[in-house]
Amino acid sequence: MTRTNPLYQIRYAVRHPDRVLPHLRRLARDTWFRLRTRDHISYYRAVMRSDTARNPEAAVGSKSHERWLALGQMQFDYLVKHGLRPEMRMLEIGCGNLRAGRLFIDYLHTGGYYGIDISPDILMSAQEVLVRYGLQDKLPHLTPVKDLRFAFLPDEYFDVVHAHSVFSHSPLHVIEECFAHVGRVMKPEGWFDFTFDRTEGREHQVLHEDFYYRTETLVNLAAKHGLTAKFMEDWEELPHKQSKIRVTRAAA
């Protein structure tokens, strides 16, 4: 039973009556945004503007500052364990306010971190985080984007591409746009790690903000664009609700 099923929603409301009014407020807000925007990127940019104005850390999915710190550390530790080295160049898609990015910036050589996001508002918060942690001398690149075509980035430049909690907020055509272009900016031996909300049942979305996919859907979509995808089993052992896939360029 998915979250869009009326029976599920009734049962959830009975179990959590305190969450009904906030949900209705969010539904009304998001409906208003959808009516005023032309596509999903524009819509989600409006969502992020609203959420960031209230709390930048909550806007990237952290319920507390302690959780913001813990989730950033979890992402960093996992990538270092799985091959990230200081001399590598990294592209972080949906870098947000540098929940993990501040750790990557500090770890990588100067200029080795490139963060992009569709939200100018959250990137302003990212600049504040840079100052707070004294990372200005590491010269990270923080760039707002309108799509995931990476047209302004050079060929075969990045060792690592990373997207945490991005595809969980993306319809399939946005993910496919990323898959169609990310291979070009990756080095031949590079890799792309991303998380997603996994379902074993019917794929669905909630409020056009949260999207749930079967693993095979994303694996097959990656293959369509010449990429090899591997489900990261050991990520499942960590205290995080999303799953992770690693994508590499298929051997010629």
Over the stretch 128-151, which tens digit does the pLDDT of each residue have?
999 999 999 999 999 999 999 999
Q: Is residue 50 part of a domain?
A: no
pLDDT at 13 over 70: no
Q: Is residue 168 part of a domain?
A: yes
3-state secondary structure 109-131: CCCCEEEEECCHHHHHHHHHHHH
pLDDT at 35: 80
Q: Is residue 27 part of a domain?
A: no
Q: How confident is the model at residue 209 (pLDDT cuts 50, 70, 90)?
A: confident
Which residues form the domain of 130? Answer: 55-249
What is the rounded CA–CA span in Å between residue 142 and residue 130? 11
pLDDT at 252: 56
Q: How confident is the model at residue 28 (pLDDT cuts 50, 70, 90)?
A: confident
Q: Report the percentage of the chain scoring pLDDT > 70.
A: 90
- Mean pLDDT along residues 81-92: 98
- Mean pLDDT along residues 67-81: 97
Apex 190 CA angle, 85 and 246, nearest 5 = 95
> 41 with 146: CB under 8 angstroms?
yes
* Total domains in the fold of the chain: 1
Cβ neighbours of residue 13 under 8 Å, at least 6 residues apart? 19, 20
Tokens of 137: 């001398």
pLDDT at 6: 52
> 158 with 114: CB under 8 angstroms?
yes
pLDDT at 33: 72
**Residue keyed to tokens 């599920």:** 8
Cα torsion for 117, 123, 127, 132, to the nearest 10°?
-90
Q: Is residue 146 part of a domain?
A: yes
Q: How confident is the model at residue 156 (pLDDT cuts 50, 70, 90)?
A: very high
* pTM of model > 0.85: yes
pLDDT at 7: 57
Q: Is residue 173 part of a domain?
A: yes
What is the rounded CA–CA span in Å between residue 45 and residue 16? 29
CATH code of the domain containing 72? 3.40.50.150
Q: Is residue 40 part of a domain?
A: no
Q: Is residue 12 part of a domain?
A: no
- Mean pLDDT along residues 160-185: 97
Amino acid at the residue 47: V
Q: Is residue 29 part of a domain?
A: no
